[in-house]
């Protein structure tokens, strides 16, 4: 397998620390709000990477943290605590907010067919580990106490800007009007390991530490949680490009200072989802969530296809027109697959051959678009039906597009089996549409209810009404 490594800025042959095994870490969500589909693009691409590694025969252990403490509005230790902000907004406790949005995050992931990592660890579970690492950093001289907080001293490192593309001027902390520079810092990029003197009087979560009652900084949690479950040597660390600085830069600084050796070999970064005006931000326009897409009639898997049609290292431009195109592509593709009859016996040698081709093609820096092209190649090939379906099923382990599940709606192979029923349902759908047009919503609802009694469920989607048997 080949992977682009943000550390070396090159596509490299992937060689794990231990043959056949991969330790993989993903920065998890800060659970103060619903996940934006832009953030979910990262988790989606990371899910493909994990499944691809398994597809290529690796034994993968994947770990993800849940940030439920310590992440401030700015990644550089300024602004309000995100969790507290969420709690205030909803008049709930921080832990209630954490529980609610953690569940919401995994529900969204499930809808996008994103596998839950092997280990999911909330930051608040690991306070002892954080304290231990901070104590070692202090002992080794990489940290200092100032203004009753503990800071990491970036001047102690030979090279701090490990990803190499940060422009120091642009990264000046305090340049934004609403952000004040922390005067306790000796160097502008120093970062907080432990807040002892809380900036927020009503900080909800506090713990005892050798330096007084307080709470951890954000960056320390990923270093500790990954080492707790993956040991001192990690193969792949994942995240969005916006995590590169300061978060991942700080993770490397503190981890390698603590360990005294190199920590993680490969850094996998997924690029932004943008709208047509540039970076997609939560503050302007509608807040794009999986639920919102569903409300608008999209199957969340359509978003997965949309994301997989482009390369993870390129910014992806979101628009409803583009998503509509993906929806049409998805529907057509599913229908084509549904029409493949399961004739003949599965040709195992052919399945293996296509498996290897997929592993090599998609394994070239997670080229998901080429993986989708291979599905069409299989459909067009002269393999028998049973083998085609077996190969597509094999690919779909990685793609996760539910390609073999019967398409919902009147044109599925299943519904086509009963033309009389299909004609009846189509007639009722037409009557309901007419009723809606005349704003006779009572009649429209009545028709839907009647069909439901007959065991037929209607779904309004952007592509029109689809039906399925219950
Ligand atoms: Zn992280």
216/359 same-domain check = no
Q: How far is the CA of 404 from the centre of ligand 1 (A)?
A: 35
Average pLDDT, the chain: 89
pLDDT at position 282 is: 53
The SS3 call for residue 25 is: strand
Distance CA 311, CA 112 (A): 17
Q: How far is the CA of 72 from the centre of ligand 1 (A)?
A: 13
Share of the chain above pLDDT 70, in %: 88
140-154, 280-294, 394-408: which has the minimum mean pLDDT? 280-294
**Residue 275 forms part of a structural domain:** no
pLDDT tens-digit series, residues 109-121 = 999 999 999 999 9
Number of other CB atoms surrounding residue 353 within 10 Å: 12
| Cis before 268 (ω within 30) | no
pLDDT at position 174 is: 41
Distance CA 259, CA 182 (A): 28
Q: How far is the CA of 222 from the centre of ligand 1 (A)?
A: 5
205-219, 275-289, 363-377: which has the minimum mean pLDDT? 275-289
Distance CA 331, CA 238 (A): 31
Looking at residue 89, which CATH number applies to its domain? Answer: 3.40.50.620
Distance CA 319, CA 204 (A): 39
313/347 same-domain check = yes
Q: How far is the CA of 371 from the centre of ligand 1 (A)?
A: 29
Q: How far is the CA of 94 from the centre of ligand 1 (A)?
A: 20
**Residue 420 forms part of a structural domain:** yes
Specify the higher pLDDT residue, 78 or 206: 206
Of 351, 366, 399, at which residue does a domain stop? Answer: 399
pTM of the predicted model as reported, rounded to 2 decimal places: 0.84
pLDDT at position 412 is: 42
Q: How far is the CA of 223 from the centre of ligand 1 (A)?
A: 8
pLDDT at position 87 is: 84
**Residue 7 forms part of a structural domain:** no
Q: How far is the CA of 242 from the centre of ligand 1 (A)?
A: 11
Residue 409, sorted as left (phi over 0), alpha (psi -120 to 50) or beta, turns out to be: left
Specify the higher pLDDT residue, 451 or 231: 231
323/445 same-domain check = no
Q: Are 399 and 308 in contact (CB under 8 A)?
A: yes
Q: What's the chain's Rg over C-alpha atoms?
A: 25
249/340 same-domain check = no
Q: What is the dihedral angle through the alpha carbons of 208, 209, 211, 214, rounded to the nearest 10 degrees? A: -50
**Residue 266 forms part of a structural domain:** yes
Helix (H) or strand (E) holding 378: helix 368-380
pLDDT-derived band at 177, boundaries 50, 70, 90: very low
Q: Please give the average per-residue pLDDT across 410-439, as a whole number.
A: 75
**Residue 301 forms part of a structural domain:** yes
Of 366, 399, 432, at which residue does a domain stop? Answer: 399
58-62, 70-74, 180-184, 266-270: which has the minimum mean pLDDT? 70-74
Q: How far is the CA of 118 from the centre of ligand 1 (A)?
A: 17
Q: Please give the average per-residue pLDDT across 234-242, as a whole number.
A: 96
216/361 same-domain check = no
Counted residue by residue, the chain has a size of 470
130/164 same-domain check = yes
291/247 same-domain check = no
Q: Are 282 and 307 in contact (CB under 8 A)?
A: no
pLDDT at position 21 is: 98
pLDDT-derived band at 465, boundaries 50, 70, 90: confident
pLDDT at position 409 is: 52
Total domain count, the chain? 3
Q: How far is the CA of 341 from the centre of ligand 1 (A)?
A: 47
The SS3 call for residue 4 is: strand
What is the number of alpha carbons within 13 Å of residue 365 lying toward its C-beta? 15
259/294 same-domain check = no
pLDDT at position 202 is: 62
- Alpha helix locations (H) across 74-142? 82-90, 94-111, 127-139
Q: How far is the CA of 62 from the centre of ligand 1 (A)?
A: 13
Cα angle vertex 352, ends 347, 356, to 5°?
150
Q: How far is the CA of 324 from the centre of ligand 1 (A)?
A: 33
pLDDT at position 78 is: 62
Calculate the alpha carbon distances from 124 to 28, 35, 66, 216 in Å: 13, 20, 9, 9
Residue 387, sorted as left (phi over 0), alpha (psi -120 to 50) or beta, turns out to be: alpha
**Residue 6 forms part of a structural domain:** no
pLDDT tens-digit series, residues 12-33 = 999 999 999 999 999 999 998 8
Q: How far is the CA of 431 from the centre of ligand 1 (A)?
A: 54
**Residue 11 forms part of a structural domain:** no
180-184, 242-246, 327-331: which has the minimum mean pLDDT? 180-184
**Residue 10 forms part of a structural domain:** no
Calculate the alpha carbon distances from 283 to 218, 287, 430 in Å: 23, 8, 41
Q: How far is the CA of 43 from the centre of ligand 1 (A)?
A: 13
63/120 same-domain check = yes
Distance CA 304, CA 398 (A): 12
204/286 same-domain check = no
Cα angle vertex 324, ends 432, 46, to 5°?
125
pLDDT-derived band at 126, boundaries 50, 70, 90: very high
Domain region containing 147: 17-270
146/42 same-domain check = yes
Q: Smallest Cα–Cα separation from 316: which of 305, 307, 324, 325?
A: 307
Does pLDDT of 169 surpass 80?
no
User: What sign does the CA torsion over 287, 290, 296, 300 have?
Assistant: positive
pLDDT tens-digit series, residues 405-415 = 977 654 444 45
Q: Are 22 and 58 in contact (CB under 8 A)?
A: yes
Of 399, 424, 439, at which residue does a domain stop? Answer: 399
Enter the tokens of residue 287.
């807040």
CA 84 to chain centre: 23
Q: How far is the CA of 28 from the centre of ligand 1 (A)?
A: 7
Q: How far is the CA of 191 from the centre of ligand 1 (A)?
A: 14
Specify the higher pLDDT residue, 277 or 49: 49
Specify the higher pLDDT residue, 188 or 285: 188
287/435 same-domain check = no
């Amino acid at each position: 397998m080949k992977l682009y490594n943000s550390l070396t800025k090159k596509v490299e042959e992937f060689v794990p620390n231990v043959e056949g095994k991969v330790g993989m870490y993903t920065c998890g969500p800060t659970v103060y709000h619903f996940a934006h589909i832009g953030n979910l693009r990262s988790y989606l691409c990371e899910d493909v990477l994990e499944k691809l590694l398994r597809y290529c025969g690796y034994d993968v252990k994947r770990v993800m943290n849940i940030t439920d403490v310590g992440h401030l509005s700015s990644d550089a230790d300024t602004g309000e605590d995100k969790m507290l902000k969420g709690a205030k907004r909803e008049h709930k406790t921080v832990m209630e907010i954490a529980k609610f949005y953690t569940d919401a995050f995994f529900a969204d992931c499930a809808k996008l067919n994103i596998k839950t990592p092997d280990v999911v660890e909330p930051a608040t579970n690991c306070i002892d580990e954080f304290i231990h690492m901070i104590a070692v950093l202090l002992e080794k001289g990489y940290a200092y106490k100032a203004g009753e907080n503990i800071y990491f001293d970036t001047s102690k490192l030979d090279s701090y800007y490990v990803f190499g593309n940060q422009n120091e001027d642009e990264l000046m902390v305090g340049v934004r009007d609403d952000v004040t520079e922390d005067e306790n810092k000796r160097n502008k990029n120093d970062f907080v390991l432990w807040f002892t003197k809380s900036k927020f009087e009503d900080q909800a979560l506090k713990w005892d530490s050798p330096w007084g009652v307080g709470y951890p900084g954000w960056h320390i949690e990923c270093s500790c949680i990954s080492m707790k479950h993956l040991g001192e040597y990690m193969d792949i660390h994942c995240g969005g490009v916006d995590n590169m600085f300061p978060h991942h830069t700080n993770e490397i600084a503190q981890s390698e200072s603590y360990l005294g050796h190199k920590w993680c070999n490969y850094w996998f970064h997924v690029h932004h989802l943008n709208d047509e005006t540039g970076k997609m931000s939560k503050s302007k326009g509608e807040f794009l969530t999986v639920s919102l897409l569903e409300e608008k009639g999209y199957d969340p898997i359509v978003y997965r296809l949309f994301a997989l049609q482009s390369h993870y290292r390129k910014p992806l431009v979101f628009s409803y027109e583009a998503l509509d195109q993906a929806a049409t592509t998805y529907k057509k593709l599913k229908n084509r697959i549904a029409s493949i009859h399961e004739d003949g016996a599965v040709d195992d040698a052919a399945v293996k051959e296509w498996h290897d081709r997929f592993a090599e093609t998609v394994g070239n820096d997670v080229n998901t678009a080429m993986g989708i092209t291979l599905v069409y190649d299989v459909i067009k090939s002269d393999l028998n039906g049973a083998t085609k379906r077996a190969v597509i099923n094999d690919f779909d382990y990685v793609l996760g597009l539910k390609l073999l599940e019967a398409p919902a709606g009147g044109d599925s192979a299943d519904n086509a089996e009963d033309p009389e029923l299909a004609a009846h349902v189509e007639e009722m759908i037409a009557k309901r549409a007419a009723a809606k047009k005349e704003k006779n919503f009572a009649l429209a609802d009545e028709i839907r209810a009647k069909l439901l009694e007959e065991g037929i469920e209607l779904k309004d989607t952007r592509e029109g009404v689809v039906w399925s048997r219950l």
